[in-house]
Amino acid sequence: MIPVRAYWRLLSEYLRPLRGRVALLGTLLLLGITFQAVNPQLIKGFLDRVQTDADLSILLSLASGYILLAVGHQVLTVISTYLAEQVGWTATNELRARLADHVLRLDMGFHKTTTPGELIERIDGDVTTLSNFFSKFVIYVAGNVVLIVTVLFLLWREAVQVGFWLTVFAVGAMLMMIRVQAFAMPWWKKVRARSAEFHGFVGEQLGGTEDVRANGAVPFMMHRFTRIVRAWLPEAVRARMGFAALWATGILSYIVGVALVFWLGWRMVGDGRLTIGSVYLIFHYTEMIRHPMDQIREQMSDLQKAGAGIERVSELFARRSAIDGDGGRALPDGALSLSFDRLGFHYEDEASDGELVLDDIHLDIGAGRVVGVLGRTGSGKSTLARLLTRLYDPQHGDLRLGGVPVREADIGDLRLRVGMVTQEVQLFRATVRDNMTFFDPSIDDERLWEVLFSLGLGDWVAGLPDALDTMLETGGAGLSAGQAQLLALARIFLRDPGLVILDEASSRLDPATEMLIDRAVGRLLDGRTGVIIAHRLATVERADDILILDGGRVAEFGERAALAADPGSRLSRLLETGMEDMLA
């Protein structure tokens, strides 16, 4: 069970900026409670005076007062409901934003083992369950408790015996609801976990629809779909049983309370201790106890869901990135030198089994040099790029950019100073301008056109239907692979990085488009350090140095011209035989 301090910490953190609205909401609820408590007194006075032939003006005054308070209570209810929803959505949106920011800062090891659909469900679905918790739980529960206490006080004042028995009834009913809430909350946590699994599966399936259909894997995917849903159903039914138990507790409490009132009223009217008006007052107050207890029951049901959501959200916030801290050191201006000192790395997952992907990498690359990285699939080329962008940290040795150890570098500065273009370019459903600037409005159009024309892309973008305002679809739908790569190159150029990494950036392009990108790459690498990862020898012709990896180790490193002229070098043999498949 989640400790009370976890609920309180979450409430205080996200409701503190909204304390003005929360205070107003509490005031409105207290006014509503006052109206509810006073109205039955007016009815009692009306009934008792009718039996004594009271003056008509007094009866009209009591009736008018009752109507005004009833209408006022409804107006207060509408306003407080609006404020509660506003508070709830404002608080949960802030929580969503912080959670999304936290997830984006986690290391790639986390993202490799968590599907996008599961993350969406945890960031949005779990947080949505907290909406009522933020907007209504504390204020409504506290308000209803105040209402119950007020009603019980008035009942004690009306008749001690009635007040005593209804107090016993109310306390017993509350204890029953708290007990039911405690054992039902773990069931809701399992439902939230199963929901995340389902949404993760759906996201994975939708992302790979083309491959699933083309390879005849639809029956397999439907089998997985059915298996997840079948496992989800009994857990959802069990969790709903927790709600049903709370609902049954409320109904049972109401039956017991009404029976108790009728029995006490029958006895006390018979011996003259109560009037008809007093009996109606007691019955009305009993109804008033039932309604706040029903609301508390609903809030307890929401608390079951919120408790599961809080626990899962807290678990996600507690997840720490495997990347060690942020040293805060800025990288030097200009091209960045690279230094690998006995570097070793392995992926920390079950599939890798701790096997080193890079082992004892020791070399230095001068600032402004362009390095071509060659090697078979699985030799560690892409892993090298991930270490340079600090998506992972090496377990052994050290890596320096511009003389600064990556662990001591400011991560934000490092990500700006190191740019990477892969064969899978991420484009958003937004304009060309927004895709180039990553939605940064401070970059003006003049700068964008300057970059585009300097890379040889100005005429192409100008020829689009709305130029920079042309809307692109998600994933770059409607653009060729080459056009997407061109936009990615322009995006990197705007950041003016000191290190540019091209990871198989032209592996899927036709020769004509590749020539256009080759010119853009030449402009991009001018005055910068470059790392070109490739399978084809032609791709690294512009490289100053060549690095060949084999089994995660440095098999060969040196100046390209010198290696090409050396008959005993690996590069020379590859150039002589033209057997590029040796690198695949």
Structural domains for the chain: 4-318 (1.20.1560.10), 370-380+417-427+479-583 (3.40.50.300)
Cβ proximity of 245 and 184 under 8 Å: yes
Provide the sign of the torsion angle of the four alpha carbons 441, 442, 444, 447, taken in this order: negative
Cβ proximity of 120 and 299 under 8 Å: no
Identify the DSSP state of 537. G
What was the pLDDT predicted at 584? 47
Instruction: Point out the residues of the chain with pLDDT beneath 50.
Output: 1, 581-582, 584
What was the pLDDT predicted at 55? 74
What was the pLDDT predicted at 51? 67
What was the pLDDT predicted at 464? 81
Q: How many CB atoms lie within 10 A of CB 424?
A: 13
Close Cβ partners of 306 (under 8 Å, ≥ 6 residues apart) = 129, 130, 132, 133, 137
What was the pLDDT predicted at 511? 62
In whole angstroms, give the CA distance from residue 322 to residue 301.
37
What was the pLDDT predicted at 434? 87
What was the pLDDT predicted at 582? 47
What was the pLDDT predicted at 208? 67
Q: DSSP for 121-183? A: IIIIIHHHTTHHIIIIIHHHHHHHHHHHHHHHHHHHHH-HHHHHHHHHHHHHHHHHHHHHHHH
Report yes or no on whether pTM surpasses 0.85. Answer: no
Structure tokens at 391: 């998506």
Instruction: Cite the beta strand spans of 495-583 per DSSP E.
Output: 499-503, 529-533, 545-550, 553-559
Q: According to the 3-state scheme, what is the secondary structure of 173-207?
A: HHHHHHHHHHHHHHHHHHHHHHHHHHHHHHHHHHH
Cβ proximity of 182 and 1 under 8 Å: yes
In whole angstroms, give the CA distance from residue 556 to residue 545.
10
- 104 exposure class (CB count in 10 Å sphere: 0-12, 13-18, 19+): exposed
Q: At what angle do helices 481-495 and 445-454 cross, to 10 degrees?
A: 120
Q: What angle do CA 33, 35, 36 make, to 5 degrees?
A: 65
